[in-house]
Structure 1
Amino acid sequence: MPKRTSDTIAEEWAYNEPHPAWEARTAASLPQPSEGSVPETILLRFILLYIGIQLLPIDGTFVKNLFRLGEQGPFNYTSYLFGLSKYAPHFVGDAPSFTDWGVVALLALAGTFIWNAVSRNRQIDNQVYAWLRVAVRYRLALAVLAYGFIKLFPIQAPLPSLSNLNTAYGDHSAWKLFSLSLGVVPGYEAFLGAVEVLGGLLLLNRKTTVIGTLILLPFLGNVFFSNLAYEGGEYVYSGLLLTFGLFLFGHDAVRLFRLVSLEAPAQPNRLTLALTQPQQTARLLLKSAFLVLVVGLYGFTTARSGQLRLPQTPGLPGVAGLYRVDAFTTDGQSIPYSKTHPTRWQDVVFETWNTLSIRSNQPVALLASTTEELPTSDAQRDYERAGSQGRHYYRYTTGPTPQANQTTLTLTGPNPADALLVGTVTMTRPNEGTLLLSGTDAKGHAIVAKLTKVNKKYLLQEAAKAGRRGALTL
């Protein structure tokens, strides 16, 4: 090994020391802060006002829903906060639309002209921008955490009911098919929820915001296009969340492009807020409250809520399953099996909860529900029939009967004018696999139906029994 002389050490020292000329070249290659041209200033102020208006509860709906907590029952804090997290300014029509964005753009445009007329101080723009980034970070975090937890504990898309599994594919709407396809893989649904929760948590820290947006932008883009492709009702809201994510990511986009794609020096993110000590204390208190109320309490109540979108009242024990209608009479007249007869029943499904559904050729009014709702009572839970036709759904309550093998069912249905059954129905169980239903339809005709249970196997249940490497036998 050659001996290191004093001259060699001096040369190494000179090589390792930053050279003033090299520092000057490096500094010149980095993007320097600029005051910006007048068009750039106008565009920046328009964007700030547009995003800011999208955050404000200016149509009164948010304030109205804010005081609904007292209407919720135990562990329904999930429904309450989820409803608040979905707020977006709405001005035109009954349902949200991109027209609302146009109204917001007009308001922002008017505000931009006023801002330019009364203020030439561009330092104020930087402060407004910094504060707005904080507000957008927490607003987007609230939204993705609200949706993330109902996926992490599979509530958004529950497992398909027996009635859903016995409904023809073409009798489901496009959005219901998407929801059912997600519901049959709760593990994947939970994984999607974990991605959303992780991205939302990263937004709560300024230094990890860019990582959070990198995680969330592909996810939010997929949600937006899924709503468009499957005729979902939340394409406007999902598009709004996507714009929030792009707004946050835009702050670091150029730096990342220079660093990763061009392999050139890039300035760090030095946008900070100069806060006084009281403001620092308030910031910590607000962040702590957000973590407790949104992450802690919301996550806890969501985990304890169970299947919020399906009825919680248990059904008749030992009755759940698919039944074929072997015999059917109307006013004493027997009607043979037919898929085209207007009133003849084809099959009946009893769920494990207090729902029964009847398939017949009589038209069903489609409940076109394409948005995510978390109801607070069984009377409001209509996910099982939403987006599906071909089956008539009824909820029932049981009452006392004089005979041991009889049960009285009091039915409630969504369409009493054309119901296959109304009022009180008597159910007799002559043996383990047979049911006799007798009652009256909406037109006053006496109905008697003999039901025989079908020992049908379902791929979803058999696959769960067999495991990933087991063999399926249907």
Structure 2
Amino acid sequence: MPTEEERAEIYSNAQWTALEKLVFRVAFIFIGLFCIPLDTGFYQMIFNFDYAHLNYRDLTEVVAFFNPQFINIFSESGFFGLASYVNYPFILFIAIIGAVIWTSLDRSSKQYQVLYYWLRVLARYRVAYAGIGWGYKKLFIMQMPREYEGLWHTELIDFFAKRLYWEALSVVPRYEIFLGFAEFIGGFLLLFRRTTGIGAAITLVVFGNIAISNHAYDIGEQVPSAAMAMLSIFILWHDIPGIWSLIVKEQDARIVHYYPQFKIAWQKYSRLAIKYAFNFVFVVLFFIFEVYGYTHNDFYKIPNTPGIKGAAGFYEVSEFKLNHKVIPYHPEDSLRWHNVTFEDWSSISIKLANRPQDIEMFAAGSYPHRTEVYDGKWHFHWQGDIRRYGDPKKHKKKDRSKRDLNITWESSGMAGRHWYYYKADTLNHILYLQNKNRTSRHLKQILHYSRPSANRIILSGVNEFRDSIKVTLDRSTRKYPLLSGVENPEQAY
């Protein structure tokens, strides 16, 4: 077995063909542009982090999403289909132009082993930190959080496909943890030379599967997922002939890699310092932040202000008075409340008929915003992914007092229910309600509450239209087969 010095000498004396050098130049630029953030907003976001209160969400923003995104096509295919990959040929075109210029300027180089090594290192760490970051989100059950009352009482027809996929995973936390472990272990193995091959194989399968799922359920993050799978293929590329010989041909194989020698002290120490610094931030510190968030009820999709003690549940509206007049139930009545859910946290949802509202979009930058119509137009911006990183909210300190109001995961990708954040004055028994929908924040209610019994809540006060209301709520005894695990689901009803 040759030593590292002997391998370095062998590779240094090897001469590449003109075609190999041209292909590498194209690949170097193409892969490099997928490994380095090109968005000006990305760096503005990092500059504006609240470093005194740095958390796992900030680190997720750093490692999870960025990829070249200069062109956006406002169409269904542009967001969820093949047209969403329009930046791949665009970046390839840039790489080809760059390679042609490079070739004209560099005619003396015999090979690019050193550059190939560093490009592979860059790709390794790009995929590694993305896998670890996404893995942590699932390992700590944050990406697909647990279900809640309002979700259980939303009709299936009111769900986006993406939201159905999310809930299909969240209903089995152990499976979500398994998926997170697969992402994490693939990324973690990429941090080490000897396990790079198996790590890249795992991340290829994991991120490839994620990209396919994104297409199937219109999730919108297929482009960065496919980019991680593509980088995994690049990392594996040198090993594929040996893997093929071993597995398919059933022949012995030896894979030899080039590793440059760092003989000068400052080079050795600089390499180690950079390596350990990045690993500390994106592996160790990231883990500490995740544990802190998990143990301190800081789930980024779930409010953490406790709701009224013992009130969580699904309530039927037994009586509804509007301006002191009893309003009987009618399935198409837009004023009368149909039912109400109280969550464990400070949110309630109200089922109303014929009262339209904007459906809350998902927070992901790849997902179409409510103002982006499918007009089929191409939108180019030299600053990169301004849809994700151009949001001014990412360039300023967040108001932590509005955390729960701004968390709209409860209603994202769903219709049918109106969601309110509330502040409870438990001394005077008053609820101050504010609509959580981003276009309806002006809708507020002030309601007094009383609890004659553990299963009854009476609300009275002024609604969002300045009308007097009085609502009697009785907790439903409905059971959930999925939660209770009964063998005969029909018996639960």
Q: TM-score range by the shorter chain?
A: 0.7 to 0.9
Structure 2 partner of 1:252? 239
Structure 1 partner of 2:56? 78
Query: Which segment is superposed worse, 409-418 or 328-337?
Result: 409-418
Partner secondary structure for residue 304 of structure 1: helix
Please tell me whether the aligned partners of residues 68 and 80 of structure 1 are also in contact (alpha carbons under 8 angstroms). Answer: no
Please tell me whether the aligned partners of residues 342 and 348 of structure 2 are also in contact (alpha carbons under 8 angstroms). Answer: yes
Structure 2 partner of 1:427? 449
Paired residues, what number? 431
Q: 1:167 to 1:276 in 2, by over 3 A?
A: same
Structure 2 partner of 1:182? 169
Using the TM superposition, give the Cα deviation of residue 164 of structure 1 relative to its aligned residue in structure 2, in angstroms: 0.5
> Aligned partners of 1:251, 1:72: CA distance in 2, in Å?
43
Structure 2 partner of 1:8? none
Moved over 6 A (4+): 372-376, 416-421, 470-473
1:409-458 CA-partner distances (Å, limit 9, x unpaired)? 11111349878962312222233322222233443332222111112222
- Out of 227, 234, 242, the position equivalent to 2:229 is 242
Partner secondary structure for residue 69 of structure 1: coil
Structure 1 partner of 2:10? none
Query: Which segment is superposed worse, 329-338 or 51-60?
Result: 329-338
- Out of 18, 38, 49, the position equivalent to 2:29 is 49
- Out of 262, 265, 271, the position equivalent to 2:258 is 271
Structure 2 partner of 1:369? 362
Could you tell me which amino acid in structure 2 is paired with residue 274 of structure 1?
Q
Structure 2 partner of 1:288? 276
1:185-224 CA-partner distances (Å, limit 9, x unpaired)? 1111111111211111110112211111122211111100
Please tell me whether the aligned partners of residues 416 and 422 of structure 1 are also in contact (alpha carbons under 8 angstroms). Answer: no
1:295-374 to 2 correspondences below 5 Å:
295-306=283-294, 307-361=299-353, 362-369=355-362, 371=364
> Aligned partners of 1:354, 1:332: CA distance in 2, in Å?
28
Q: 1:325 to 1:421 in 2, by over 3 A?
A: farther
1:409 aligns with 2:431: yes
Please tell me whether the aligned partners of residues 343 and 420 of structure 1 are also in contact (alpha carbons under 8 angstroms). Answer: no
Partner secondary structure for residue 29 of structure 2: helix
1:84-110 CA-partner distances (Å, limit 9, x unpaired)? 012223323499842333332232122
> Aligned partners of 1:414, 1:383: CA distance in 2, in Å?
10
1:373-430 CA-partner distances (Å, limit 9, x unpaired)? 999732332211111111000000022665xxxx211111134987896231222223
> Aligned partners of 1:122, 1:183: CA distance in 2, in Å?
54
> Aligned partners of 1:71, 1:256: CA distance in 2, in Å?
45
Q: 1:272 to 1:320 in 2, by over 3 A?
A: same
Q: 1:233 to 1:110 in 2, by over 3 A?
A: same
Using the TM superposition, give the Cα deviation of residue 244 of structure 1 relative to its aligned residue in structure 2, in angstroms: 0.9
Query: Which segment is superposed worse, 209-218 or 327-336?
Result: 327-336
Q: 1:313 to 1:93 in 2, by over 3 A?
A: same
Q: 1:400 to 1:134 in 2, by over 3 A?
A: closer
Q: 1:379 to 1:122 in 2, by over 3 A?
A: farther
1:238-277 CA-partner distances (Å, limit 9, x unpaired)? 1111111111111211221122212345442232223233
Partner secondary structure for residue 345 of structure 1: coil
> Aligned partners of 1:71, 1:411: CA distance in 2, in Å?
32
Please tell me whether the aligned partners of residues 444 and 463 of structure 2 are also in contact (alpha carbons under 8 angstroms). Answer: yes
- Out of 474, 480, 483, the position equivalent to 1:458 is 480
1:154-183 CA-partner distances (Å, limit 9, x unpaired)? 111110111101111111111111111111
Please tell me whether the aligned partners of residues 129 and 282 of structure 2 are also in contact (alpha carbons under 8 angstroms). Answer: yes
Query: Which segment is superposed worse, 215-224 or 284-293?
Result: 284-293
Q: 1:444 to 1:471 in 2, by over 3 A?
A: closer
Structure 2 partner of 1:384? 410
> Aligned partners of 2:87, 2:316: CA distance in 1, in Å?
50
> Aligned partners of 1:71, 1:281: CA distance in 2, in Å?
27
Could you tell me which amino acid in structure 2 is paired with residue 78 of structure 1?
Y
Query: Which segment is superposed worse, 208-217 or 352-361?
Result: 208-217
1:62 aligns with 2:55: no
Structure 1 partner of 2:468? 446
1:301-332 CA-partner distances (Å, limit 9, x unpaired)? 10221223200000111111110011122223
> Aligned partners of 1:138, 1:44: CA distance in 2, in Å?
20
Unaligned ranges ≥5, structure 2 = 1-12, 366-387, 389-393
Please tell me whether the aligned partners of residues 72 and 80 of structure 1 are also in contact (alpha carbons under 8 angstroms). Answer: no
Q: 1:62 to 1:415 in 2, by over 3 A?
A: closer
Please tell me whether the aligned partners of residues 445 and 464 of structure 2 are also in contact (alpha carbons under 8 angstroms). Answer: no
> Aligned partners of 1:400, 1:191: CA distance in 2, in Å?
41
1:191 aligns with 2:178: yes
Structure 2 partner of 1:147? 134
> Aligned partners of 2:173, 2:292: CA distance in 1, in Å?
16
> Aligned partners of 1:184, 1:420: CA distance in 2, in Å?
34
Unaligned ranges ≥5, structure 1 = 1-32
> Aligned partners of 1:140, 1:51: CA distance in 2, in Å?
12
Please tell me whether the aligned partners of residues 200 and 235 of structure 2 are also in contact (alpha carbons under 8 angstroms). Answer: yes
Q: 1:358 to 1:161 in 2, by over 3 A?
A: same
Structure 1 partner of 2:206? 219
Please tell me whether the aligned partners of residues 205 and 229 of structure 2 are also in contact (alpha carbons under 8 angstroms). Answer: no
Query: What's the % identity of the aligned pairs?
Result: 29
1:94-133 CA-partner distances (Å, limit 9, x unpaired)? 9984233333223212211111101124445222111100
Q: 1:107 to 1:236 in 2, by over 3 A?
A: same
Q: 1:39 to 1:133 in 2, by over 3 A?
A: same
> Aligned partners of 2:442, 2:94: CA distance in 1, in Å?
52
> Aligned partners of 1:152, 1:254: CA distance in 2, in Å?
34
- Structure number, greater radius of gyration: 1
> Aligned partners of 2:109, 2:244: CA distance in 1, in Å?
26
> Aligned partners of 1:260, 1:309: CA distance in 2, in Å?
44
Could you tell me which amino acid in structure 2 is paired with residue 153 of structure 1?
F
Please tell me whether the aligned partners of residues 434 and 443 of structure 2 are also in contact (alpha carbons under 8 angstroms). Answer: no
> Aligned partners of 2:460, 2:107: CA distance in 1, in Å?
80
Q: 1:442 to 1:415 in 2, by over 3 A?
A: farther
